[in-house]
Amino acid sequence: MASTSCPKCNARVEFEVGTKFTKCSYCSSQIFIDRSGAGFFYIIPFSVQEKDAVGLFRRWAAGPTKAKDLDKRAQLSGIKRQYFPVYQFKRDVDGKEEIRIEPAGSTTLPGLHSLKVPAGDLKIFESGYGTEGVELVKPDIEMSSYLNEMPGRPKEQALVYFPIWKVDYILDQKRYEVVVDASSGEVFAGTYPGRGSAAYVAVAGVGYVAFLAETLVTAINPVLAIILMGITLAGVFGASLFVAWRM
């Protein structure tokens, strides 16, 4: 057995070595235990319901960078809610409080590296808090693995269960997924069917005009023209990569 003090009521809490979650026997707060000590264990309630999540997805899909009529043509193939674990680090940086959020679970889902924890919605996760059968994703990244890159001094460390909707959809026989932040309603997407060809044409057009101008420069200053052409080439290459990656 090992022991620590409850971050809420400061009572002494004993736990098996290797346990990550335990309960304070005085105030019944759920406590998250990490090699660096005990921390609060928070949960954020779902404020976006399933119907609203689908509506947010449709609105996102109707955006100007998406494939034409994606909002109408995308076939929903699955929608699922989850509590995704993130670490919240409160730090004292030169007398100012800074909050950093890092994922506590390994994931390939988009957006989970840039979640913002809404201060008002944090609930201390007490036993008896109803998760209504929603899956709690288990943290598999150690809190300590982030501590080296944290600025300032520690004020509070916590594990926060973040509510998300995972929406899967199909367009032209390809599967895609988005994450809807069920606290703020923000939509996160990795790759999605976009209006890529228009962007490629724009990049090629700008490159072509630049080359034409540089050809004129050749007559005046050939060395400068070659340097400019090199810059244009690198720019077109970089912009194409960006388009391929983002669009």
Which chain residues interact with Zn ion by CB under 5 A? 6, 8-9, 11, 24, 26-27, 29
Residue number, 125 or 176, with CB nearest to Zn ion? 125
Residue 126 DSSP class: B
The SS3 of residue 229 is: helix
d(CA 156, CA 84): 20
d(CA 70, CA 111): 20
Residue number, 26 or 242, with CB nearest to Zn ion? 26
Beta bridge partners of 123: 43
- As measured in angstroms, the least distance from the Cβ of 23 to Zn ion is 9
- As measured in angstroms, the least distance from the Cβ of 41 to Zn ion is 11
Contacts of 225 (CB under 8 A, 6+ apart): 214, 215, 217, 218
Nearest to 33 by CA among 54, 3, 55, 1: 3
Q: Provide the token pair at 232.
A: 């244009």
- As measured in angstroms, the least distance from the Cβ of 156 to Zn ion is 15
Residue number, 124 or 206, with CB nearest to Zn ion? 124
Residue number, 41 or 84, with CB nearest to Zn ion? 41
Residue number, 108 or 127, with CB nearest to Zn ion? 127
- As measured in angstroms, the least distance from the Cβ of 67 to Zn ion is 52
Residue 198 DSSP class: H
- As measured in angstroms, the least distance from the Cβ of 128 to Zn ion is 14
